[in-house]
Amino acid sequence: PSYPGSTIPIKFSEKQQSSHYLYVREHKVREGTRSSWPQKRTLFVLNVPPYCTEECLSRLLSPCGPVQSVELQEKPELAESPKEPPSKFFHPKPVPGFQVAYVLFQKPGSVSAALALKGPLLVSTESHPVRSGVLKWIGDYTDSVPDPEALRVEVDAFMETYDRKIAEEEAKAKEEEGVPDDEGWVKVTRRGRRPVLPRTEAASLRVLERERRKRARKELLNFYAWQHRETKMEHLAQLRKKFEEDKQRIELMRAQRKFRPY
């Protein structure tokens, strides 16, 4: 189903003559579909230009009511998916180009006020200038250099969450081990009596090389018993043949031996 929407003209600054249009409507989903964005309080925005950041969009729409959060995305989300907390160190930067935005207001009436905006709204003003050109490149480079202390705090928090998740999964697997389900089936897990020590990449490569050499040596040897017997018989036949040839050579040498005084 289609939902009524509106357009909001915006300009980068007062120097810009023509306006850029944002296409906005109330965020709604089909019945039975879950969404991570609350309905009645979420404004869906299309055609967001690259120079309009989340902070700019929040400032432009703040006259309609307090903005709780703004999120820019490459394309609309089709279904609810688990979201990880945002990180400026390990998450990729937004794709440069036009994007879509989800603006979450604190009050439901703010969505109707945003749909009634006429504009044009200015992205860059004297009180809130937006960097562009060389200044923007310098700022992007400065922002790309991480703060070691902030990075350490985020890594520690991530590892604590990861360790807690792994411990919960192991505890749950240990509780379910050997317990039959409703139908009487017992789930077989990969848990063993002795924990397997993790291998480094170099150690794994050494083990694979040893296994390869071992297989090569086995391929050179006679693997089956009948092959071993045939090899012995061929070796004995070669010895007998060589022995007969030596006997004939000796007899020939004795027959040709004569007394030659001169």
pLDDT in tens, 117-139: 887 888 888 888 888 878 878 87
Dihedral class, residue 119 (left if φ above 0, else alpha if ψ from -120 to 50, else beta): left
Considering the chain, what percentage of its residues have pLDDT values greater than 90?
14
Q: Does residue 125 share a domain with residue 17? A: yes
Provide the sign of the torsion angle of the four alpha carbons 221, 224, 227, 228, taken in this order: positive
User: In the predicted model, is pLDDT for residue 176 greater than 80?
Assistant: no
Say whether both 130 and 156 belong to one domain: no
Residue 52 maps to a domain: yes
Is 183 contained in some domain? Answer: no
Q: Which residue shows structure tokens 């919960």?
A: 168
Give alpha helix (H) positions in the chain: 54-61, 109-115, 134-144, 148-176, 201-220, 225-256
Q: How confident is residue 46, by pLDDT bands cut at 50, 70 and 90?
A: very high
In this structure, the answer to whether residues 151 and 114 fall within a common structural domain is: no
Segment 188-197 shows an average pLDDT of 56
pLDDT score for 1 = 45
Match 């240990």 to its residue by tokens. 174
The CATH number given to whatever domain includes residue 45 is 3.30.70.330
pLDDT in tens, 229-244: 888 889 899 999 999 9
For residue 57 the two structure tokens come to 């969009």
135 with 71, same domain: the answer is yes
42 and 158 both lie in a single domain = no
Instruction: Kindly report which listed range (6-10, 177-181, 258-262) carries the lowest average pLDDT score.
Output: 258-262
On whether residue 187 sits in a domain, the answer given is no
Claim to verify: residue 71 and residue 151 sit in the same structural domain: no
Mean pLDDT in residue range 22-37: 81
* Pair 103, 124 in one domain: yes
> Which domain range does residue 239 map to?
221-261
- In a domain, residue 185? The reply is no
Answer whether residue 251 is part of any domain. Answer: yes
Asked if 58 and 135 sit in the same domain, the reply is: yes
CB neighbours of 49 closer than 8 A, spacing ≥ 6?
10, 12, 20, 98
pLDDT band at 148 (very low <50, low <70, confident <90, very high): confident
- 136 and 169 part of one domain: no
pLDDT in tens, 195-225: 555 556 777 788 888 888 887 766 655 566 6
Does 139 lie in the same domain as 151?
no
| Residue 231 included in any domain | yes
Question: Is 212 inside a domain boundary?
Answer: no
Query: What pLDDT shows up at residue 164?
Result: 92
Number of separate domains in the chain: 3
Greater confidence (44 vs 84) lies with 44
- Same domain, yes or no, for 43 and 170? no
Question: Does 199 fall in a domain?
Answer: no
**What pLDDT does residue 91 have?**
62
Say how far apart CA 37 and CA 166 lie, in whole Å: 29
Q: Are 134 and 67 in contact (CB under 8 A)?
A: no
Reduced to 3 states, what is the DSSP secondary structure of residue 73?
strand
Last residue in a domain, options 96, 125, 143: 143
Tell me what the mean pLDDT of segment 99-105 comes to: 91
Residues 121 and 238 in one domain: no
- Calculate the average pLDDT of the chain: 80
pTM of the predicted protein model: 0.53
What tokens does 177 get?
Answer: 């081990």
Residue 157 has pLDDT above 70, yes or no: yes
Cβ-based neighbours of 151, under 8 Å, separated by 6 or more: 89
pLDDT on residue 194: 52
- Please tell me the predicted confidence (pLDDT) of residue 71: 87
